[in-house]
Structure 1
Amino acid sequence: MCKLRGSVLLCLVIILGLIILIEGNNETISRNRAKKAQMVKKLKKDLRKLKKQDGALKLIGKNRDYEGNVEILHDGKWGSICDDEWDYLEANVVCRQLGFEGAVKPTTNGHFGQARRRFWMDNIYCDGTEAELAKCRFDGWGTSDCESSEAAGVICKHEQEPTIAPPVKKKEPKIKIKDIHQQGIAIRLAGGRVPTEGRVEVKLGNGDWGVVCGDGWSLFEAGVVCRQLGLGYASDAIQTNFFGGQKMPMAVSGVQCHGDEASLAHCLHEKTIQCPGMAENVASVVCLRDMADLVFDHIELMRTAHLEDRQLYWLQCAMEENCVASQAYRIQRESDNWHLETRRLLRFTARILNAGTADFRPAVPKHLWEWHMCHMHYHSMEVFATFDIIHANGTKVAEGHKASFCLEDNQCMPGIEPRYKCANYGDQGISVNCSDIYKHNIDCQWVDISELEPGQYTFKVAVNPEFKVGEMTFDNNAATCKLLYTETYATVHSCVMERP
């Protein structure tokens, strides 16, 4: 169109206009792009900020986002959660905070691998209504006596992935080792300072010797190993490479024993080896010939159980040790006259005999014992006994007794001299053929049943419930009884001895 000389000027004007229009459009596009980039950057920043808020949670140790060990952010650093007192109440709070409907189950003993970082929280007490785990009661940030094998975790409720997404691999059920490896299994300890300790090595059929993954490794599995090798009882079950083995192949993982199996071959395991942190997560044991054996006196429990109504004013010391139900703490926060409120307590005596061949000693070293000013003595075990009232549908309806204990010889058989005493920072423990007795009239020797409806329930009392200290057997550590509560009286009867 610009071939005619007279139209050259017109062409130049048109071309210039097109250039201006294109540049204008490009400038608009550039502005829009910059605006979008700025918005995306802000969203990413907000997301990072949200994830870095104090009290934020994440699950680690598995590729699936609905299960794993729990880590919490505090003071700008991630830390682990200890499994002391860890149960469904705490697990439900975690899962809801992460956006799930609730928990399928809580996990303990480093089920998804050892704790990778320091423990931020220990002895957590949730009532189940908290919006965040950090809102629950606990010992204080960084206050813990836990080892790396005591990591707490959760498995949260989740929906099946849509069909358009990659299918989630279904978790294979565990199967007995002997059913897969029918050629037999050999077992030995290696790397120990003495023959009764070391890493556990197994030889499956004609294969090479390998180590066992430490995930979920507990005193039950360790006890089977010690008994199979004729080394007595398991004093400790360790997830560590202290005894070496990090360069050996992993032979089995996910080993799970009831504790009374004749050999490790009768225990369950995962058909496919899955072991987070292989280098340091090696199953190890310490065996001893002599071991303590606690026996709970269920007869004394039935004889002494009774009700008492008591004002919170007289329970202030016990409240410091988490010995009353969660509702009492809400009353304390919300009412100026909280100390006048009355709580109903189911009191009873707990008598625990050591019928073993060695003294029962706390797992925590003496310099880590906790001083309690109210009761004027040191507590050597954070969780020595739990008292739970359970509904017919299996749910816990009265908060179990969650408090520390001092251990001492209160009553010994004729000819036995008591050796352990809490007073004056004395050594704590229970001697062979001696009993530690917590009488019904002392603080915390109760279950707060103020919100409990009248009816029939199961009452379970357990000692050494988290199996933190080795024993000959755990099958006599708990009494499971029937409880009849009518508001005017309570009776405990028909107790049966079993495992916690």
Structure 2
Amino acid sequence: MSEVSQLEFLEEEWLEEPQGLLEECQLEYPKLLGVTLVVAIAFLVSVSHALQGSALEEARLHRENLVKKYLKKLKKEDGAIKLVGGRGDFEGNVEIFHDGKWGSVCDDEWDSTEAEVVCRQLGFPGHIKATHSGFFGKAKRKFWMDNLFCGGKETELANCHFDGWGHSDCEASESAGVICKNDDEGGVSTTPKPIPEKIKPKKVQLMKDLEVRLAGGRIPNEGRVEVRFAGSGTAWGTICADGWSLLEGNVVCRQLGLGYANDAIQTDYFGGSNRSEILLSGTECYGNETSLGNCLHHEVGWHSSCSERGTHVAAVTCVDVMADLVFDHVEMEQSLHLEDRLMYLLQCAMEENCVASQAYEIQRDNPNWHLETRRLMKFTARVLNTGTADFRPHIPKHLWEWHLCHMHYHSMEVFATFDIYNGQGVKVAEGHKASFCLEDNQCLPGTEPKYACANYGDQGISVNCADIYRHNIDCQWVDISELDFGLYTLRVAINPEFKVPEMSYDNNAAICSLLYTETYARAYDCKITRP
């Protein structure tokens, strides 16, 4: 909005709430400062004094319309969204307005479907990427939404299913974001205009090695990550923590010979807030690189940008023993089968969003919805810990949620995902198991189980033990009621968001061919891969 337009808008709103308007000016129009703001306010004061009697009374009669227009201008209607921390209004972490306050969105279950809904609501032609792990900086507000599940056709993010306003166990580093298509040609107007291609940061791979060290820690295997070009003899620089995750942390610990990353931290706890020498920004690793120099980076050099310069410093803690989960695809192939179930029997599952979005439309529109049936593809998910340390949930025990339907506490919101793709690579169905309880259901000879869900027991998966979600457990399925018969790809991923540390994530998923017919379904030719 130009300064002239801002002044016209301010003049109109001054008649109603001058004090409130001044407060909003500070938040919404930070560029309207100094002389411009003084002149604007002086002008508005004179207008306010001039408009007395009938003119002022007439303005008051239109208060309701003006307030509505005001809220719309400032995007302050309930359910409104905005993107923050990006280079323009087409990218950033997602914030949503509810109950008079802006709040953040957690990246649990966040993927391209939700990103498409966000970009559509903001008026963009589509999305380029869904971002995770505070890619555009840590969340600065309370989390309003967690475990979002959108069908893809929603016009607003608030119409999607989620855990409920304010119900979240997420940390500030788990902010969800998007990068939308910024195309003016299709009649889509954006502000500001698209950033010229020449200044858009691209992913680059360094052509030289990086020296890495940890600094500021209490012990040698923890601290902020500092880097410099090998053999340069120059000063050490920090790494901006935008998007910093366990994938990057594992590479750092591996390069230093310190084992595995137990935590990848976005903080200045280990110092660095008084240092301006940021050498890398937007670091993105696959996780199995031997050196940080082999990863991709948005910016390299002493002028690298950062969403929270000085306080958003990449840090790690390393350990020499670590869990390592492997999915048993053979068990899945042998147990996979179809079941048609009445929606009346799915009411508990529907409370946890375990069915497709079409089921909720049937429940809303059809008075006899409980007599309708859903086709479920069910299978057993067996996960074995082959590492050297126990696998433990990253959520503290006092934050676990009690689920009345299942009569036990759930310690992980997203432990596994089940997705079905068509021949073009488009996701056509997905499982929506909202939460998980982890325990030692089966152990190898010589190993005693020690984790159990019952009676608020400790949860986890011991070394050489397996957690088993059998096919007859609620929500252990994919709702394929709307799926056409044919050949598809089934993808099952364990710890898919890399939020719990492991030795490697290269064996956390299985990709299988899936044949779906009128009478049966069969998974075959499964291959172990990464999520």
Q: Is the 8 Å Cα contact of residues 433 and 476 (structure 2) preserved in structure 1?
A: no
The CA deviation string for residues 87-128 of structure 1, in whole angstroms up to 9 with x for no partner, is: 122111111111112222211111111111111111111111
User: Is 1:61 matched with 2:85?
Assistant: yes
Match of 1:429 in 2: 460
The CA deviation string for residues 331-390 of structure 1, in whole angstroms up to 9 with x for no partner, is: 112222111111111111111000000000000000000000011000000000000001
Match of 2:286 in 1: 258
User: Is 1:71 matched with 2:95?
Assistant: yes
Letter in 1 for 2:201: E
Match of 2:381 in 1: 350
Query: How far did residue 322 of structure 1 move?
Result: 1.4
Work out which of the residue numbers 460, 468, 478 in structure 1 matches 2:499.
Answer: 468
273-282 or 296-305: which moved more? 273-282
- Give, in whole Å, the separation in 2 of the partners of 1:268 and 1:52: 38
User: Is 1:104 matched with 2:152?
Assistant: no
- Structure 1 counterpart SS, 2:406: coil
Query: How far did residue 168 of structure 1 move?
Result: 2.1
Match of 2:70 in 1: 48
Work out which of the residue numbers 184, 202, 210 in structure 2 matches 1:173.
Answer: 202
Q: Is the 8 Å Cα contact of residues 385 and 401 (structure 1) preserved in structure 2?
A: no
Aligned ranges 1:23-42 → 2 under 5 Å: none
Work out which of the residue numbers 372, 393, 397 in structure 2 matches 1:366.
Answer: 397
- Give, in whole Å, the separation in 2 of the partners of 1:487 and 1:227: 50
Q: Is the 8 Å Cα contact of residues 254 and 274 (structure 1) preserved in structure 2?
A: no
Match of 1:484 in 2: 515
Letter in 2 for 1:320: E
Aligned ranges 1:351-430 → 2 under 5 Å: 351-430=382-461
Letter in 2 for 1:124: L
User: Is 1:231 matched with 2:258?
Assistant: yes
Query: How far did residue 42 of structure 1 move?
Result: 9.7
Work out which of the residue numbers 137, 140, 148 in structure 2 matches 1:124.
Answer: 148
CA change 1:168–1:431 in 2 (3 A) is same
- Give, in whole Å, the separation in 1 of the partners of 2:507 and 2:384: 11
Query: How far did residue 166 of structure 1 move?
Result: 6.9
Query: How far did residue 318 of structure 1 move?
Result: 1.4
- Bigger CA radius of gyration: 1
Query: How far did residue 47 of structure 1 move?
Result: 4.1
- Structure 2 counterpart SS, 1:353: strand
Query: How far did residue 64 of structure 1 move?
Result: 1.2
Query: How far did residue 63 of structure 1 move?
Result: 3.0
- Give, in whole Å, the separation in 2 of the partners of 1:285 and 1:73: 34
384-393 or 185-194: which moved more? 185-194
Q: Is the 8 Å Cα contact of residues 299 and 305 (structure 2) preserved in structure 1?
A: no
User: Is 1:143 matched with 2:167?
Assistant: yes
State, as a whole percentage, how many aligned pairs show the same letter. Answer: 64
- Give, in whole Å, the separation in 2 of the partners of 1:63 and 1:493: 45
Letter in 1 for 2:249: A
Query: How far did residue 43 of structure 1 move?
Result: 8.9
- Give, in whole Å, the separation in 1 of the partners of 2:373 and 2:63: 56
Query: How far did residue 79 of structure 1 move?
Result: 1.0
Work out which of the residue numbers 267, 273, 285 in structure 1 matches 2:316.
Answer: 285
Q: Is the 8 Å Cα contact of residues 258 and 320 (structure 2) preserved in structure 1?
A: yes
CA change 1:166–1:55 in 2 (3 A) is closer
User: Is 1:83 matched with 2:81?
Assistant: no
- Give, in whole Å, the separation in 2 of the partners of 1:489 and 1:57: 43
Query: How far did residue 81 of structure 1 move?
Result: 0.6
Match of 2:119 in 1: 95
Q: Is the 8 Å Cα contact of residues 432 and 475 (structure 2) preserved in structure 1?
A: yes
203-212 or 222-231: which moved more? 203-212
Letter in 2 for 1:497: I
Match of 2:296 in 1: 268
- Structure 2 counterpart SS, 1:244: coil
- Structure 1 counterpart SS, 2:92: strand
370-379 or 306-315: which moved more? 306-315
Letter in 2 for 1:202: V
Question: How many residues in Structure 1 have an aligned counterpart in Structure 2?
Answer: 462
TM normalised by structure 1 equals 0.88
Q: Is the 8 Å Cα contact of residues 388 and 401 (structure 1) preserved in structure 2?
A: no
- Give, in whole Å, the separation in 2 of the partners of 1:43 and 1:193: 59
Match of 2:330 in 1: 299
CA change 1:166–1:407 in 2 (3 A) is closer
The CA deviation string for residues 225-248 of structure 1, in whole angstroms up to 9 with x for no partner, is: 001111100111111111111111
- Give, in whole Å, the separation in 2 of the partners of 1:106 and 1:456: 27
Match of 1:246 in 2: 273
- Give, in whole Å, the separation in 2 of the partners of 1:286 and 1:262: 17
Match of 1:197 in 2: 222
Aligned ranges 1:322-333 → 2 under 5 Å: 322-333=353-364
- Give, in whole Å, the separation in 2 of the partners of 1:305 and 1:464: 21
Query: How far did residue 44 of structure 1 move?
Result: 7.6
Query: How far did residue 173 of structure 1 move?
Result: 2.2
CA change 1:41–1:335 in 2 (3 A) is closer
Letter in 2 for 1:111: F
CA change 1:410–1:454 in 2 (3 A) is same
- Give, in whole Å, the separation in 1 of the partners of 2:489 and 2:391: 28
Listed as ranges, the gaps of 5+ residues in structure 1 are: 1-29
CA change 1:250–1:44 in 2 (3 A) is farther
297-306 or 310-319: which moved more? 310-319
- Give, in whole Å, the separation in 2 of the partners of 1:376 and 1:172: 49
RMSD: 2.2
- Give, in whole Å, the separation in 2 of the partners of 1:374 and 1:307: 23
- Give, in whole Å, the separation in 1 of the partners of 2:141 and 2:211: 35
- Could you list the structure 1 runs, at least 4 aligned residues long, displaced by more than 3 angstroms after superposition: 38-47
Letter in 2 for 1:267: C
Q: Is the 8 Å Cα contact of residues 414 and 436 (structure 2) preserved in structure 1?
A: yes
Q: Is the 8 Å Cα contact of residues 123 and 139 (structure 1) preserved in structure 2?
A: yes
Letter in 1 for 2:291: S
- Give, in whole Å, the separation in 2 of the partners of 1:82 and 1:393: 29
- Give, in whole Å, the separation in 2 of the partners of 1:481 and 1:156: 31
Query: How far did residue 190 of structure 1 move?
Result: 1.3
- Structure 1 counterpart SS, 2:82: strand
- Give, in whole Å, the separation in 1 of the partners of 2:194 and 2:330: 54
Q: Is the 8 Å Cα contact of residues 240 and 281 (structure 2) preserved in structure 1?
A: yes
421-430 or 185-194: which moved more? 185-194
